[in-house]
Amino acid sequence: MEASRIAIPIGVTLDRFIRSNESQYPQSVGDFSQLLRDIALASKVVNREINKAGLIDIMGSSGSHNTGGDDQQKLDILADIRFSRALLKGGAACAIISEEADSMSILNINGKYIVAIDPLDGSSNIDVNVSIGTIFSVYKRLSNIGEPVTIEDCLQCGTEQVAAGYILYGSSTMLVFTTGQGVNGFTYEATLGEYLLSHPNIIIKPEANTYSINEGNSNSFVQEGIHDYLNECKVEQFAGRYIGSLVADIHRNLLKGGIYLYPATRNNPDGKLRIMFEANSLAFIVEQAGGKASDGIQRILEIVPTSIHQKTPLFIGSSEMVKKLELALNKY
């Protein structure tokens, strides 16, 4: 083969990227890399199953409900099983908490990490072929290795995350994650079966002209200031873009700039989104990209969780936009 042909790179695979960054986590001796590889592997299986939805009988409601009272889709449950099983086999995590489970599941008592996961977010969009996603956070356990895993191991502040990421099953499938050293995005190349680095060092614009909110809830917003902020957006003629699939909405705003808002409503007085499964992970990613994430009063990452399914209002995205929103809320 000609030397010039060998020189053409296929790009940096996720595996190579993880290995070349292993020196950042010397204390973990490869366990952490194993954990990220397990999540990536499970996401490829889930991606395959999502792409088959509609072709085989895996769509539609399973008829059961999760802790939040949401209708569980079969794919939610399948995704939950895929991620849990991959992490169980990999051995790096001692426990997993999932949006689809009432309580933590023990994986490997000798594992160092806790994984919090929303295996398939935006599941009401599954049946209509709209982008959906997986959201995950990784924490170091607080208890000693080999000892029983406790609920305190799971209920850590977002500031304690050692990694966070999401997988977007969209027009292409992407894995975007941070280990606290910036944010990198990888696009799945299905014929190679590899994630390839496509979006190195993602930075979110400090200011932009897109806002994402379910305005159908307007009459039931609990905080007055939300209306003032939305009026500002309209005066500025910002574009309203709302997919209703958190990962997709956040991903668009991460790449193009914008703010995502899910405020407290009369039906959801604590907000709709979960701290441990949705808000913390996305807040860590967006902050690492230079953005901001707030519950309207404080930084999402500093909320001290008291239960694994706890919810929060969420205002997240371009830093100047989130600051303006906080100012509007603080007037009342």
Active site residues: 70, 76, 99-100, 118, 120-121, 278
Between 94 and 164, CB nearer to Mg ion: 164
Tell me the two tokens of residue 147. 């000892």
Going from the C-alpha of 153 to that of each of 169, 252, 284, the distances in angstroms are 30, 33, 19
Question: Which part of the chain contacts Mg ion (CB under 5 A), choosing from 4-12, 40-48, 113-121, 175-183?
Answer: 113-121
Q: How far apart are CA 206 and CA 38, in angstroms?
A: 34
One of 80, 121, 194, 326 touching ligand AHM (CB under 6 A): 121
Give which of ligand AHM, Mg ion, none residue 164 binds (C-beta under 5 to 8 Å, depending on kind): none
Q: Does 123 bind ligand AHM (CB under 6 A)?
A: yes
Nearest distance from C-beta of residue 133 to Mg ion, angstroms:
9
Structure tokens that stand for 244 in this block: 């209703």
**49 touches, from ligand AHM, Mg ion, none (C-beta below 5 to 8 Å by class):** none
Of 88-96, 145-153, 164-172, 240-248, the window that binds ligand AHM (rule: CB under 6 A) is 240-248
Query: How many Å apart are CA 264 and CA 272, to the nearest integer?
Result: 7
Considering only 76, 80, 100, 121, the residue that binds Mg ion (CB under 5 A) is 121
Rounded Cα–Cα distance for residues 18 and 238 (Å): 38
Asked if 143 and 131 touch (Cβ cutoff 8 Å), the reply is: no
Q: Going along the chain, which residue ranges are E strands?
A: 61-65, 71-73, 93-98, 105-106, 113-121, 132-140, 161-169, 173-178, 183-189, 194-199, 210-212, 239-240, 259-262, 273-274, 292-294, 311-312, 314-317
For residue 4, the number of C-alpha atoms closer than 13 Å in the C-beta half-sphere is: 0
Site string for ligand AHM, 66-105 (x = CB under 6 A): ----x----------------------------x------
The residues in 137-166 that bind ligand AHM, with binding defined as CB under 6 A, are none
List 108, 131, 245, 294, residue binding ligand AHM (CB under 6 A): 245
Is the separation of the CB atoms in 257 and 292 below 8 Å?
no
From the CB of 169, what's the least distance to ligand AHM, in Å? 12
Tokens found for residue 54: 């509609």
Q: Judged by CB, which is closer to ligand AHM: 132, or 233? A: 132
Residue 123 contact, options Mg ion, ligand AHM, none, Cβ 5-8 Å cut-off depending on partner type: ligand AHM
List residues near ligand AHM by CB under 6 A: 70, 99, 118, 121-123, 214, 244-246, 249, 272
List residues near Mg ion by CB under 5 A: 118, 121
